[in-house]
Amino acid sequence: MALVKMTDSLLDDHKRSLKELIRSKAFLRRSYDEEPFKLASGDTSRTFFDCKLVTQDPQGIKLIAEIIYEMVKDYDLDGIGGIETGSIPISTAVAQLSFLKGKQIPSFWVRHKPREHGTMNIVEGGLQPNSKVVILDDVTTRGNSVEKAVREVQKMNCEIVELITMVDREAGARDKFKKMRIKFTSLFKMSDFKS
């Protein structure tokens, strides 16, 4: 498979295509006469981003991997991953692309609770203590779910270079991670989809 050199113009095209894919496949709305969506944060909302419909889509995961790889390729990373299940396809796709590009970035993921058999791991994928990592998320509201991944890799004395989410619902996550001194970047914000 021939890899295309990423230019700023091509990267912008990828972002526009991904935004449209999220809008058409994953941005769900319910009217006021319907039951609102329950979010992982516990909140309810008339809107919901079902980004697994994009991370499981062949074009969607290709675009996501290429965009995120471009964002992290200049870091000297030992790993890329996040909380189950949202980060798993993303980090796996970025790891595969990194291999094809000749700069290998292994993926990992963090369980919500330790495995109850075998190794009893909570962090899967061979991440080593004192590693330099990027944390990924698909949709971030307050940041409580992805904070679990942050805390687990911090227990391993890992340095978190950046936390990247596909969609920031703009409900407090940015402030949370600013207070934790973690660089928080979103590909898109909730407000990008309101028009």
Q: Are 100 and 3 in contact (CB under 8 A)?
A: yes
Residue found by looking up tokens 């894919």 in the block:
21
Q: What is the pLDDT of residue 3?
A: 65
Strands 132-140 and 79-83: parallel
Closest to 139 in 3D by CA, of 18, 51, 36: 51
Q: What is the pLDDT of residue 39?
A: 86
Tell me the pLDDT of the chain (195 aa) as tens digits. 456 677 888 888 999 999 999 999 999 999 999 999 998 888 899 999 999 999 999 999 999 999 999 999 999 999 999 999 899 999 999 999 999 999 999 999 999 887 777 777 899 998 999 999 999 999 999 999 999 999 999 999 999 999 999 999 999 999 999 999 999 999 999 999 986
Q: What is the pLDDT of residue 6?
A: 76
Backbone dihedral angles phi then psi of residue 134, each to the nearest 5 degrees = -115, 135
Both tokens of 4, joined, read 């295309």
Q: Mind listing the domains of the chain with CATH numbers?
A: 61-193 (3.40.50.2020)
Residue found by looking up tokens 């009893």 in the block:
120
Strands 184-189 and 159-168: parallel
Q: Are 151 and 122 in contact (CB under 8 A)?
A: no
Both tokens of 131, joined, read 């590693």
